[in-house]
């Protein structure tokens, strides 16, 4: 029988070895970070479950947890709060999505040393708010104009942050040299030959694509590390400078698109995709109210990448800083409604349940109790797996 460390190393074997070591180190931080880095374990284990509550098919992001909600700048240049990671997205039973996000509540609350009773309360709240939104049959969205409470404050802070501030932080003391500061934590050097090839590729791509503004030139590139589950993928960031306005800069990223970690365990027939990059950006477009700025794909050295304007890595709700249960209730309610909205927005597309099926499902009772019980139990399994992982990796 394979151990936890065997299963994890087998999954991560195709990734960049040096970066995988950083991923393993990050996953030691706590059980929630471990959970974020082992989406494949979740679905491998789910496949073995008997009597898991059945549900209609929907487009799901696949790796929904509390830190995969956040802010991003839309292609209309407004800031939105929404689901924001679709690397694992597939057509699947919608209860798979709910099981993962509910489990994340239990795991995260345990790491934050919040009472189990509060985790039960918030998981139930999330599910109830999700159901109420699904019953309406109408998707909603959140931006600074419509947000309330903690999310409103969060988005207003993000909105006030200028692109110049982000650029200055990334460029650091090397600002005058028009280079990305290498800190060997989030930004790493790229070998000269590969760096030249990447810059040449992006330069040519910018000149020839209609989906991006072509009035920028590439000034520098670096390897980027962000998140947890995606550490080990090829991920590059580029500093662009406007040709017309020398004081105008743009940060973009090029992230390798790979097979969804759900794929080995998902028996639902999927549409044909020309690439995993196409799958990812198509599902972003379907599920989000507004797509991220400058979203597209490219192929470099036979690998497909998702291209988009770089999103600030710190723009997540920090649950440890929420003042009281009222704040928690507001944030989790928003997240639940956004989850339902993403499924409603993408309903009736290439095999997903139509709106009527989703609203009808929301009105039925009996599946909620089993789903909450599974999330509760699996959170205990995550904690045990985390302990075994830490003991094995040293």
pLDDT digit string (tens) for 5-45?
999 999 999 999 999 999 999 999 999 999 999 999 999 99
Kindly tell me if the per-residue pLDDT of 182 is higher than 70.
Answer: yes
Whole-model pTM: value is: 0.93
Kindly tell me if the per-residue pLDDT of 300 is higher than 70.
Answer: yes
Average pLDDT, integer, range 148-166:
69
CA pair distance 53, 330, nearest whole angstrom? 27
The tally of domains found in the chain comes to 2
* DSSP 8-state symbol, 221: E
Q: How many CB atoms lie within 10 A of CB 83?
A: 24
Average pLDDT, integer, range 115-143:
95
3-state secondary structure of 83: strand
Structural domain containing residue 377: 4-159+319-393
17 and 155, same domain (yes or no):
yes
Nearest residue to 59 via CA among 86, 37, 40, 99: 86
Q: Which of 279, 309, 339 is the last residue of a domain?
A: 309
* DSSP 8-state symbol, 51: S
* DSSP 8-state symbol, 176: G
166 and 134, same domain (yes or no):
no
153 and 17, same domain (yes or no):
yes
Q: How many CB atoms lie within 10 A of CB 208?
A: 9
24 and 140, same domain (yes or no):
yes
125-134, 203-212, 298-307: range with lowest mean pLDDT? 203-212
Residue 314 lies in a domain: no
**Residue 335 pLDDT class (50, 70, 90 cuts):** very high
149 and 166, same domain (yes or no):
no
8 and 150, same domain (yes or no):
yes
42 and 56, same domain (yes or no):
yes
215 and 299, same domain (yes or no):
yes
Average pLDDT, integer, range 207-224:
86
Q: Which of 309, 327, 350 is the last residue of a domain?
A: 309
79 and 212, same domain (yes or no):
no
Q: What percent of the chain is modeled with pLDDT above 70? A: 92
Average pLDDT, integer, range 42-53:
95
pLDDT of residue 270: 97
Provide, for the chain, the percentages of residues in helix, strand and coil under a 3-state DSSP scheme, each rounded to the nearest 5.
50, 15, 35
Residue 373 lies in a domain: yes
Q: Distances from the Cα of 226 to the Cαs of 164, 204, 255, 310, in angstroms?
A: 21, 26, 11, 11
83-92, 182-191, 317-326, 379-388: range with lowest mean pLDDT? 317-326
pLDDT of residue 10: 96
* First-last CA distance in the chain: 21
Average pLDDT, integer, range 325-354:
94
String of b and e for 157-177 (b: at least 16 CB within 10 Å)?
A: ebeeeeeeeebeebbeeeeee
Q: Which of 283, 309, 335 is the last residue of a domain?
A: 309
> For residue range 369-394, what is the model confidence (pLDDT) as tens digits?
999 999 999 999 999 999 999 999 87
**Residue 162 pLDDT class (50, 70, 90 cuts):** low
Top pLDDT among 154 and 115 is at 115
Average pLDDT, integer, range 295-309:
93
**Residue 321 pLDDT class (50, 70, 90 cuts):** low
Kindly tell me if the per-residue pLDDT of 164 is higher than 80.
Answer: no
Phi/psi zone of residue 60: left (φ > 0), alpha (ψ -120 to 50 degrees), beta? beta
pLDDT of residue 102: 98
Residue 137 lies in a domain: yes
Kindly tell me if the per-residue pLDDT of 315 is higher than 80.
Answer: no
Structure tokens at 15: 């990734």
Average pLDDT, integer, range 256-285:
97
Kindly tell me if the per-residue pLDDT of 213 is higher than 80.
Answer: no
262 and 326, same domain (yes or no):
no
The overall average pLDDT reported for the chain is 90
Q: What percent of the chain is modeled with pLDDT above 90? A: 70
Residue 212 lies in a domain: yes
53 and 24, same domain (yes or no):
yes
Residue 145 lies in a domain: yes
Q: Are 361 and 353 spatial neighbours (Cβ–Cβ below 8 Å)?
A: yes
pLDDT of residue 124: 98
Residue 36 lies in a domain: yes
Residue 134 lies in a domain: yes
Residue 141 lies in a domain: yes
Kindly tell me if the per-residue pLDDT of 336 is higher than 80.
Answer: yes
**Strands of the sheet with 296-300, listed across from one edge:** 187-188, 216-224, 235-242, 249-256, 303-309, 296-300
330 and 281, same domain (yes or no):
no
pLDDT of residue 313: 47
**Residue 158 pLDDT class (50, 70, 90 cuts):** low
> For residue range 72-117, what is the model confidence (pLDDT) as tens digits?
877 777 788 899 899 999 999 999 999 999 999 999 999 999 999 9
């Amino acid at each position: 029988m394979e151990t936890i460390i065997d299963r994890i190393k087998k999954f991560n074997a195709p990734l960049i070895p040096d970066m995988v070591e950083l991923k393993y180190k990050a996953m030691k931080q706590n059980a929630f970070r471990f959970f974020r880095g082992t989406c494949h374990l979740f679905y491998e284990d789910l496949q073995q479950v008997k009597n898991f509550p059945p549900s209609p098919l929907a487009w799901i992001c696949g790796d929904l947890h509390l830190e995969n909600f956040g802010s991003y700048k839309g292609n209309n240049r407004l800031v939105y709060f929404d689901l924001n990671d679709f690397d694992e997205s597939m057509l699947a039973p919608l209860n798979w999505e709910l099981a993962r996000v509910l489990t994340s509540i239990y795991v995260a609350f345990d790491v934050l040393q919040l009472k189990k009773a509060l985790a039960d309360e918030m998981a139930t709240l999330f599910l109830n708010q999700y159901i109420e939104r699904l019953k309406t049959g109408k998707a909603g969205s959140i931006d600074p104009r419509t947000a309330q409470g903690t999310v409103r404050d969060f988005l207003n802070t993000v909105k006030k942050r200028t692109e110049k501030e982000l650029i200055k932080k990334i460029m650091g003391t090397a600002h005058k040299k028009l280079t990305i500061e290498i800190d060997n934590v989030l930004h790493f050097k790229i070998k000269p030959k590969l760096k030249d090839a990447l810059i040449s590729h992006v330069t040519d791509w910018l000149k020839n694509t209609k989906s991006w503004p072509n009035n920028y030139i590439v000034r520098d590139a670096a390897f980027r590390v962000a998140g947890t589950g995606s550490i080990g993928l090829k991920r590059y960031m580029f500093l662009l400078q406007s040709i017309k306005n020398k004081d105008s800069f743009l940060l973009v990223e090029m992230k390798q698109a790979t097979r969804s970690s759900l794929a080995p365990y998902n028996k639902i027939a999927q549409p044909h995709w020309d690439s995993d990059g196409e799958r990812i950006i198509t599902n972003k477009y379907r599920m989000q109210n507004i797509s991220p700025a400058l979203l597209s794909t490219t192929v470099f050295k036979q690998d497909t990448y998702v291209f988009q304007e770089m999103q600030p890595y710190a723009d997540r709700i920090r649950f440890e800083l929420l003042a009281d249960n009222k704040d928690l209730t507001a944030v989790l309610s928003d997240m639940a409604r956004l989850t339902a909205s993403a499924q409603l927005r993408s309903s009736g597309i290439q095999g997903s349940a139509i709106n009527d099926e989703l609203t009808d499902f929301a009105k039925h009772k009996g599946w909620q109790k089993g789903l909450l019980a599974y999330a509760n139990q699996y959170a205990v399994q995550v904690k045990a797996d985390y302990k075994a992982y830490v003991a094995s990796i040293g």
